[in-house]
Amino acid sequence: MNRPLDLYDIQGNICKGYGRFGFPKARYFFLEFHDYAGGRNFLQQLIPLITTAEPWSEKKHPDQSDKPAATTNIAFTYHGLCALGLPRRSLDGFPQEFKMGMKPRAAILGDNGPSSPQHWDPVWQGDTVHAWVSINGQTQQAVEQRFAQIEELMQNVQGSVSIRPGHKGPNGSLLPYQDASAVFENGKATPKEHFGFVDGIGNPYFEGCGHDPERLPGRGKLNRKGKWEPLATGEFILGHIDEAKEYPLAPEPHLLARNGTYMVYRKLHENVKTFNDYVENMAKDFDGSRELLMAKFSGRWPDNGAPLVLAPDDKAKAELDRKMAELQKKAAEGDACAVGQLKALEEQWINFTYNDDKHGAKCPIGAHIRRTNTRGSLETEKGAFDRPGALVDRRRLMRRGLPYGGHDELTNDNSEQGIIFMCISASLERQFEFVQQQWVNYSNDFHLGNDRDVLIGANNGKLTDKHIVQVNPKDGKAPFFCTHLPRMVETRGGDYFFIPSITALDMIAQGIIDPT
């Protein structure tokens, strides 16, 4: 059992998905350190601005809340830690995949063809991205104010630190930073991305994360009694015991790694026209609506994220929508019973398994959410493992990030829109790279041969690039084959980052990392 976490020593983006806390705007920019003394000086000035994982009180009036208008966090590449003068022994203690960085791992990640590193945004060419800095804001004005504040800090160190430019923006522009934003509809931020799916629903719950225990069901690990338990802290934060009852591989000294973690940053371009054209074409022969076909790709209905295991066809979805609308109306009128029923129904968005859907008749076995979080479905023989989710509990990822683009130009494949995908895990190789290689771009574990994920897989439009929509074997119907899958999403850049604790960040800034 892990002890309570020191949330004041952990950077806030590790434990908090800022979008869920009312920060729909973000700016990501990347630093190059030109000398380690100036770089450390800059870090010392930046530390007071870093947002920790300390809990925020929720007040009805914004002026009464201790939630800041903007957050700031920082992480480093291996080359960045070298540029800041960390001792060789400490540098050698980082895992190989982090030291290599993302580009040399392209073959593992499926970054080929249009996703190959030579096609990435100019900022990613070379090895001079040393640090990632994020600003999340409740408003764009708050983001701009914090960015100006950090620019002033950089001016104080007189050229020792610079921003790496070269992010492709709208209408062929190149920008010095990557802005991101929730997709707005009718002036309100939504959890949707540019294909139209509600996104980011099922982030993991781990010991000490500081979140309400009511969020645990569906987000933790399944035990033999069908109940959910928190995942071990060490699956996401270094210096703590993981699901194997071990401490994750970490560099020395102990304080450099403890309460830190690794982050994946990927700019994923969405070919919106290609996606819409493919759905329209396949829907002509599909026994169901266009929305149902999209749900069969994702595993969730696009409009509200309801899982297919809860509403597996158009008729069931219509009944679910009717029930939801009725409960929402009664709840708005003050019906306490309806409030409870609505809450219980909404919990089923997360709290579900595939136990009664072994054949994928409700949610296809190759659907996106079933690949990336198998929820115990890989235990095909009951009792084969210590617990139903033994094969997924060590592959979980904490999603972060926001959509980008899609509002300054006509949306097509050539316009700039997509997702800034970020995820956090204690092991880049065991968690992110495994999921990307074995479950997104390969299907042996699912008995689906070489099939890839419809939405983010490295498909190339060939006959064999397919997705199977399974049916109930007792229905006597044939499965529906979606063939010639095109590349829906292309990688436009990214790298691996180390997010240090506040303690470690201060030690790096002071130049007192000592592994002896």
Cβ atoms of residues 90 and 254 within 8 Å: no
Cβ atoms of residues 483 and 286 within 8 Å: no
b or e along 164-196 (b: 16 or more beta carbons within 10 Å of the residue's beta carbon)? bebbbbeeeeebebbbbbbbeeeeebebbbbbb
Mutual orientation of helices 36-46 and 140-156 as an angle, nearest 10°?
A: 140
Cβ atoms of residues 178 and 122 within 8 Å: no
Burial of 488 (0-12, 13-18, 19+ CB in 10 A): buried
> What is 12-25 written as a DSSP string?
HHHH--GGGGT--E
pTM of this prediction exceeds 0.85: yes
Measuring CA to CA, how many Å separate 257 from each of 308, 362, 390, 500?
40, 43, 26, 7
CA pair distance 349, 7, nearest whole angstrom: 28
Nearest of 102, 101, 109 to residue 458 by alpha carbon: 109
Question: What is the pLDDT at residue 202?
Answer: 82
Query: Tokens 């809340």 sit at which residue?
Result: 65
Q: Which long-range contacts (CB under 8 A, 24 or more apart) does 89-93 make?
A: 89/252, 89/515, 89/516, 90/251, 90/252, 90/253, 90/256, 90/513, 90/515, 91/251, 92/251, 93/250, 93/251, 93/252, 93/515
Tokens for 91, please give them. 């540098």
* Measured CA angle at 125 (ends 124, 127), to 5 deg: 85
CA pair distance 151, 37, nearest whole angstrom: 18
CA pair distance 513, 253, nearest whole angstrom: 7
Residue 498 host element (H or E): strand 489-499
Give, for all 516 residues of the chain, the pLDDT tens digit.
Answer: 556 899 999 999 999 999 999 999 999 999 999 999 999 999 999 999 999 999 987 665 656 678 999 999 999 999 999 999 999 999 999 999 999 999 999 999 999 999 999 999 999 999 899 999 999 999 999 999 999 999 999 999 999 999 999 999 998 999 999 999 999 999 999 999 999 999 988 899 999 988 889 999 999 999 988 899 999 999 999 999 999 999 999 999 999 999 999 999 999 999 999 999 999 999 999 999 999 999 999 999 999 999 999 999 999 999 999 999 999 999 999 999 999 999 999 999 999 999 999 999 999 999 999 999 999 899 888 888 888 888 999 999 999 999 999 877 777 899 999 999 999 999 999 999 999 999 999 999 999 999 999 999 999 999 999 999 999 988 889 999 999 999 999 999 999 999 999 999 999 999 999 988
Cβ atoms of residues 5 and 233 within 8 Å: yes
Nearest of 310, 298, 470, 419 to residue 370 by alpha carbon: 298
Question: What is the pLDDT at residue 62?
Answer: 56
Q: In angstroms, how far is the first alpha carbon of the chain from the final one?
A: 29
Cβ atoms of residues 26 and 181 within 8 Å: yes
Q: Indicate the residue type of 64.
A: Q
3-state percent breakdown (helix, strand, coil) of the chain, nearest 5: 35, 20, 50
Nearest of 296, 288, 287 to residue 485 by alpha carbon: 296
